[in-house]
């Protein structure tokens, strides 16, 4: 079955540091890949996505590239801010038509200190 | 923001009592989902719906049932709540091929 493995947390960084959160997946075919973010006390919001190999998703300074050869979708940001403190989830959606279910990783809590 | 509300937002109940959580959408999206969020597990799918009266099980469906009699409402029922069902529950909606939009969550505590 499908699975997503993401970097264990928590992760603590200083403001303006470079961020990488690793995500690898197991799935047949070419799934769609997502990063969701959850701010304290809120539901999840889509941060970025990629639907085919070599696609790069980007939003709010975050980027992730769909790497089929390494089955990875690592999240990066060049200079983090305190407001980026949140929990980040990597997820995939099966390539099978009509299968809309998402499989999530366990989440990575990120804290940015001033 | 997608129009998704969940009720109640917080609930404390006792073991053995029935509990129903409601998800309401104003977006007319076809698909609706119930997840639970627990530390170390991320989000796990409980049940989902692909249309009115069309539902299916997710990976952690034991002890839960759902109903969808209208496009806008998706109910999650714990017939007899247990302490292992203490969790934060999220509803989500989507259209085919689209992103999932999440509600604000319901924090349930079973004593």
B30-70 per-position pLDDT tens digit: 999 999 999 888 899 999 999 999 999 999 999 999 999 99
Q: In what helix (H) or strand (E) does residue A92 lie, and over which residues does it extend?
A: strand A86-93
Contact A104, A15 (CB under 8 A): no
- Residue B62, token pair as written in the block: 């034991």
Residue B3 to residues A5, A27, A108, B50, B63, Cα–Cα distance (Å): 31, 32, 27, 18, 28
A42 neighbourhood in chain B, CB within 8 Å = 104-105
Ordered per-residue pLDDT tens for chain A, 114 residues: 889 999 888 999 999 999 999 999 999 888 999 999 999 989 999 999 999 999 999 999 999 999 999 999 999 999 999 999 999 999 999 877 677 889 999 999 999 999
DSSP 8-state assignment for residue A67: B
Picking from A25, A43, A108 by the largest number of B CB atoms within 10 A of its own CB, the best residue to mutate is A43
Helix, strand or coil, per DSSP, at residue B49: strand
Helices (H) and strands (E) in chain A, counts: 0, 12
Pairing of strands B10-13, B106-110: parallel
Q: Which of B43, B48, B104 sits opposite A104 (nearest CB)?
A: B43
Distance CA B6, CA A87 (A): 21
Residue B31 falls in which region: left (phi positive, over 0), alpha (psi -120 to 50) or beta: beta
């Amino acid at each position: 079955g499908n699975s997503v493995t993401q970097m264990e947390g928590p992760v603590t960084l200083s403001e303006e540091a470079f961020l990488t959160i690793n995500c690898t997946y197991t799935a047949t075919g070419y799934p769609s890949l997502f990063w969701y973010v959850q701010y304290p006390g809120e539901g999840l919001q889509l941060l970025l996505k990629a639907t085919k190999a070599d696609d790069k998703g980007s939003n709010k300074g975050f980027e992730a590239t769909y790497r089929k050869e390494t089955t990875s979708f690592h999240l990066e940001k060049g200079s983090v801010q305190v407001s980026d403190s949140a929990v980040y989830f990597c997820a995939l959606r099966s390539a099978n038509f009509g299968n809309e279910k998402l499989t999530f990783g366990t989440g990575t809590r990120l804290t940015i200190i001033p | 923001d997608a129009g998704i509300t969940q009720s109640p937002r917080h609930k404390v109940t006792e073991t053995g009592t029935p509990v129903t959580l409601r998800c309401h959408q104003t977006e007319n999206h076809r698909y609706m989902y119930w997840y639970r969020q627990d530390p170390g597990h991320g989000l796990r799918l409980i049940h989902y719906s692909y249309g009115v009266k069309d539902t299916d099980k997710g990976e952690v469906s034991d002890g839960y049932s759902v109903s969808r009699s209208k496009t806008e409402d998706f109910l999650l029922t714990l017939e007899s709540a247990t302490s292992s069902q203490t969790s934060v529950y999220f509803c989500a909606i989507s259209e085919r091929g689209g992103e999932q939009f999440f509600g604000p969550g319901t924090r349930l505590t079973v004593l």
